[in-house]
Amino acid sequence: MADNIIEVTSENFVELVIKGSEKLPVIVDFWAPWCSPCKQLTPIIEKAVNNFQDKVMLAKVNIDENQSIASQMQIQSIPMVYAFFNGQVVDGFQGNIPESQVLDFIQKVSDLSGPSPQTKEKLEKLEASLTDSNWEEALDLSNIILDNDQNNIDACNGKILSLIGLKKFKEAKDFISILPEEILNDNRTKDLSSKIEVAEKSFDASKNFVHLEKALKDNPKDIKAYIDLSDAFFGIGKISECYQLLIEAIKIDPKWNDQEARKKLISFINSHDLNSEEAKKARRQLSSILYN
């Protein structure tokens, strides 16, 4: 048996299941040698929990040999499966269910424990790498975490951010396209989806940087030139210059093309860093223009 699969008796049930569930969720499989459905279900559960070595325990209880537990738990028929967490029953099911439902059940229970200590350590390193814009290292850490926990939302978002930072926009889009719905519906992931489009457009604009600078110099009142050059500045990481170009465009005509400059500025601020000094300054300037 795997390290996270144990046999439990009346003597150690409290210690291994009740108290043990204060450290990790414990799934208890009540079975008996004569139970044919148990012989079908138990291997499926064992196979599934083997994929969650650090996140869930499986305790097997033979009710023929441990009738006092079966009586206390009011087991009327088997197979019966309960999930314990923090000393309490939190979920369960009775009888044989499809393998896909068993997997969903174990995934749900394992999520109660949060990331393993090893994963927590890697997530901390990932956050530091992203803060330092160390995109290659962040991508490697994200992939390592996802190899063991494919639905870890922090690692998914870290991978997307890393790919954006490395200008691998197609890979970022491809990765997002295969994410499960619960991750796609997370607001952070939604924001990153928008950020890919902004970053890709800005990177493309940065390739024409010299041409865009000349266009603005030749037409200093051309708002479109300000907006195009702001894309290029954003693409090469000159955030302050990007914001100031858009502020100048708004000063010239805040309503131009359905307030395109203002909308562009807000989009850049939201996709970069809402709390940066550049963002705070730009928001103050924007308020001064629009409300004075």
Name the residues annotated as catalytic.
35, 38
- Rg for the chain (alpha carbons), in Å? 28
Task: Quote the CA–CA distance of 246 and 225 in Å, as a whole number.
Answer: 10
Read off the tokens for 227: 């907006």
The packing angle between helices 239-252 and 277-291, to 10°, is 0
Q: Where are the alpha helices (DSSP H) in the chain?
A: 13, 36-49, 67-72, 99-110, 117-131, 135-148, 153-165, 169-177, 181-184, 187-206, 209-218, 223-235, 239-252, 256-272, 277-291
Alpha carbon distance 8, 17 (integer Å): 8
How far apart are alpha carbons 163 and 179 in whole angstroms? Answer: 15
Residues 1, 57: contact at Cβ < 8 Å? no
| Inter-axis angle of helices 209-218 and 223-235, nearest 10 | 150
